[in-house]
Structure 1
Amino acid sequence: MAMRTSPESPMPVGRVSRLIGEWIDRLGAVWVEGQITQLSRRPGAGVVFLTLRDPAQDISLTVTCFRAVFDKVADVVTEGARVVVLGKPEWYAPRGQLSLRAAEIRAVGVGELLARLERLKRELAAEGLFAPERKRRLPFLPGRIGLVTGRASAAERDVLENARLRWPAVRFAVRNVAVQGVHAVPQVIDAVRELDADPSVEVIVIARGGGSVEDLLPFSDEALVRAVAACATPVVSAIGHEPDSPLLDLVADLRASTPTDAAKRVVPEVGEEVARVEQLRERARWCARALVEREERGLRATVDRPVLAEPHRLVEEHEERLVMAVDRGRRVLGHLLDRADAELSHTAARVVALSPAATLRRGYAVLRRPDGSVLRSAAEAGAGEELRARLADGEVGVVVTEPSGGGAVAEGAPAGTRVPDAPGREEESPVGGGS
């Protein structure tokens, strides 16, 4: 129940502590899991003191138990072991300290640990922390490598020595931490976060040598797995040996079977790279030579062509064809002109042959009345009728003196003139100058 207090009537600290103790005394026994960080067994003492710590958080709890209770598990429980304790919370009022009076202690077995790890593995996998698409590629030649490992450990030596043998200029940022025990998880998390915040570090390697399942438990801790998943820098897990597989291997961007393998996977071997560069150079030279040779062959084939061997030959051939075409055009044009000239001459000759003037030049004449009508028949002419005779070089006047059915005689007409005796018909008959 809430206590009635005020600035004028405050509650003493001792009473508050006693009230807390009374409330805790009403609690029943609970099962608590944790890791033993301190173990105190004084010879002859009937009480054993333990410090139980939560591996995932920085919280500790003092546990007391009778020696008879602890002796049942004394052979399997040591500092660093994970245990499950059945105890009743107690409050020591004079000091204001909470403790746990243990009635039973059980060591967490390997089988139970593996079952718990399997459940945690499924939960994290369901969240997508182990998905392959989250994996990032390591840089080809990192400028600086972050290394999280135990101080002066074989894992640290393997990584540093093998990396420098492969690439002597490699640089490391080493963070020595506890790799087992109650302080391993927070120290590893702090080191990983520190290296991840360093922009010069391009890849982080977490390395530890082999050990038992209990020794490798910190690298399956949920807090550490989530811290690695949140890193922006690629992380390489090199924990234990090939058969060992903590959860850190699943969340890391690359799993190395051993610390030595991590050094080989992170740093390229200088000799191999030099050989690869030389191979690429030789391939580039071969490609360049092949390209030049191919172009030279094409150039030689082009130069050997007749058009380039005798460059004037093409012009001469075109000149010959042009001259032949011009000559052919002239011949064709000449033939056409000759034919047209012949046709024109024939037409002109026909026109001249059919011309009345040509007929008049042969000695014929055309008789017309004064009104211009042409006399076409001798019967049309009357005696004494005056007519006009059209000759080749002019006209003369004539007078009809003797009309007859055989043709009238026109007086004054030149000799050889024939008076037409029918319309539309001219007969060749001389015209006399008599009556």
Structure 2
Amino acid sequence: MTSARADGDPGQSADNPFPVRGVAIRVAGWIDKLGAVWVEGQIAQLTLRPNSNTAFITLRDPAADMSLSLTCPRDLVVNAPVKMTDGTQVIVYGKPNFYTGRGTFSLRVSEIRAVGIGELLARIERLRRLLDAEGLFDPRLKRPIPFLPGTIGLITGRASAAEHDIMAVASGRWPAVRFAVRNTVVQGPNAVPQIVEALRALDADPEVDVIVLARGGGSVEDLLPFSDETLCREISRCTTPVVSAIGHEPDNPLCDLVADLRAATPTDAAKRIVPDTAAEQALISDLRRRSARALRNWVNREAHVVAQLRSRPVLARPLAAIDARADEVHRARAAARRDITRLLTRESERIGHLSARLSTLGPAATLARGYAVVQTIPDSGEPQILGSVADAPAGTRLRVRVGDGAITATSEGEQ
């Protein structure tokens, strides 16, 4: 009896199937029991038919490959405060519906709010303030970019224009440069884990001198992975210099602020990390010319100074001063000799005059004129000049000195 009842229930056997309308009606009934919901997503396609009062929207999840079909009154889109276009991030309020006529599911929307960019920028701004407070943007922590990197680590999308531009420009500027390329997804939910894994691998490679994180721009929603907190902190932990080349000028992702160098575009990154061979050779040639010219000018200037010094009299004729002083010395010596001779002559004459006067006034001259000096000779003691006859009584021995000698005599007393 159980088997008979099962065979008799509609849709439970091939002998008693549901008609299409039966399934459609039942599915519509089940879905109709669901309440209205708020849904956030990105408008992937917006269709406004000229003769229709209904707008058809495809809403996709930016973090996953999934989408929903929406329907709403045309006026809800046309009269929205913010213009609705493909790529706009929105929050919608609607009720799930199953259209039995076409067998399709959609969300019947009664309210749309465009909150994408404003909300995303607010979230990014809050994270920016947090990372800035922790010092991740401090310029003192920026690592210097090597002048001539041997190997460049490149993280970018597979076969992307950013990869082509960086490799082409860098190789054109310095043909010997090498690349270690890590291809990852650059948007969506899998971007951050893959980029972080590639970043760690390149940072651990001792041959990699600089790492470039590149993407060719995109919308704010597409660039969300490059403002992810996990990626920003991983960049700050790298020991290898990191260059951010996202190529999105109006609103820079946070990785631009954490990276050691921000490039406006992938092409700009290649130019800033790889020197131009031709430009460097031209610079070297110019520096050689300038240094040679400076050296020649210095030598000429110093030679001119030496020539001026040599032309001065003291160096042109260094003995002239000595010769002039020698003549003065000779004249001084002659004058001194004359003065000394004159002094000696004058003093000699004075001495001669004094000698003559001394001779004239001396006892010898007096004795020569017939005078004599008489001395008494006592029995003991020194002879004494006889000054009076009383001093020479009879018998006194006398010594008489005349001009040519002296004689002895005996006094006979006073006469």
TM-score over 0.5 (shorter chain): yes
One-letter identity of the residue aligned with 2:63: G
Q: What is the aligned counterpart of 2:63 among 70, 80, 101?
A: 80
Whole-angstrom CA distance in 2 between matches of 1:191 and 1:225: 14
Q: Which amino acid aligns with 1:153?
A: S
Question: Would you identify which runs of 4 or more consecutive aligned residues in structure 1 move more than 4 Å?
Answer: 43-47, 65-72, 81-84, 106-109, 305-319, 378-386, 398-402
Aligned to 1:331: 338
Pick aligned residue for 2:404 from 368, 393, 400: 393
- In 2, the alpha carbon distance for the partners of 1:146 and 1:401 equals 155
Q: How far 1:352 moved relative to its partner?
A: 3.3
C-alpha separation in 2, matches of 1:165 and 1:332: 98
2:385 counterpart SS class: coil
Q: Is the 8 A contact 1:390 1:396 kept in 2?
A: yes
The answer to whether the aligner puts 1:195 opposite 2:208 as a matched pair is no
Which residue in the other structure is 2:267 paired with? 260
Match of 1:376 among 374, 387, 392: 387
1:292 aligns with 2:305: no
- Contact conserved, 1:148 with 1:175, CA < 8 A, in 2? yes
Q: 1:391 to 1:196 in 2, by over 3 A?
A: same
Please state how far the C-alpha of 1:359 moved relative to its aligned partner.
Answer: 2.5
Shift of 1:397: 3.5
- Contact 2:395-2:410 at 8 Å conserved across structures: yes
Asked if 2 retains the 8 angstrom alpha-carbon contact of 1:46 and 1:67, the reply is no
Kindly provide the CA deviation profile for residues 117-159 of structure 1, in whole angstroms up to 9, marking residues without a partner as x.
Answer: 2222222111111111111222222222211111111111221
**CA contact 2:392–2:413 (8 Å) conserved in 1:** no
| Paired letter, 1:123 | L
* Structure 2: distance between partners of 1:260 and 1:141: 17
Q: What is the aligned counterpart of 2:374 among 352, 367, 371?
A: 367
CA separation of 1:359/1:280 partners in 2, compared to 1, >3 Å: closer, same or farther?
A: same
Shift of 1:114: 2.5
Match of 1:180 in 2: 187
| 1:387-426 mapped onto 2 (5 Å cutoff) | 387-398=398-409, 403=414
Q: Deviations over 1:278-304 (max 9, x none)?
A: 321221122111112112213333443
Q: Deviations over 1:366-406 (max 9, x none)?
A: 12222222122345454675533221222234455674xxx
Q: CA deviation at 1:196?
A: 1.6
Q: Aligned-pair distance for 1:325?
A: 4.5
The aligned counterpart of 1:3 is none
Distance 1:147 1:395 in 2: 142
Superposition map of 1:235-250 within 5 A = 235-250=242-257
Question: 1:322 Cα shift?
Answer: 4.7
TM norm structure 1: 0.64
Aligned equivalent of 1:216, options 223, 230, 237 = 223
Q: Is 1:115 aligned to 2:122, yes or no?
A: yes
Distance 1:240 1:396, change over 3 A: closer
CA distance change for structure 1 residues 388 and 311 in 2, over 3 Å: closer, same or farther? Answer: closer
Q: 1:230 to 1:302 in 2, by over 3 A?
A: same
State the partner residue of 2:100.
Answer: none
Residues 80-99 of structure 1 correspond to what in structure 2 (within 5 A)? Answer: 80=63
Query: How many residues are paired up?
Result: 324
1 CA distance for matches of 2:197 and 2:353? 125
Confirm or deny: 8 A CA contact 2:373 2:385 kept in the other structure. yes
Asked if structure 1 preserves the Cα contact closer than 8 Å seen for 2:150 and 2:208, the reply is yes
One-letter identity of the residue aligned with 2:152: I
1:22 paired residue number? none
3-state SS of paired residue (1:138): coil
Once residues 66 and 384 of structure 1 are traced to their aligned partners in structure 2, the CA distance between those partners, rounded to angstroms, is 197
For 1:240 and 1:127, locate their aligned partners in 2 and report how far apart those are by CA, in whole Å. 26
Return the alpha-carbon distance in structure 1 between the equivalents of residues 245 and 118 of structure 2.
24
Change (3 A) 1:107 1:185: farther
Shift of 1:326: 4.1
Query: Is 1:76–1:107's contact at 8 Å kept on the other side of the alignment?
Result: no
| Whole-angstrom CA distance in 1 between matches of 2:411 and 2:61 | 180
Q: CA deviation at 1:207?
A: 0.6
d(CA) in 2 for partners of 1:252 and 1:69? 47
**1:76 counterpart SS class:** strand
Q: Calculate percent identity across the aligned residue pairs.
A: 52
Q: Specify the code of the residue in structure 1 equivalent to 2:403.
A: A
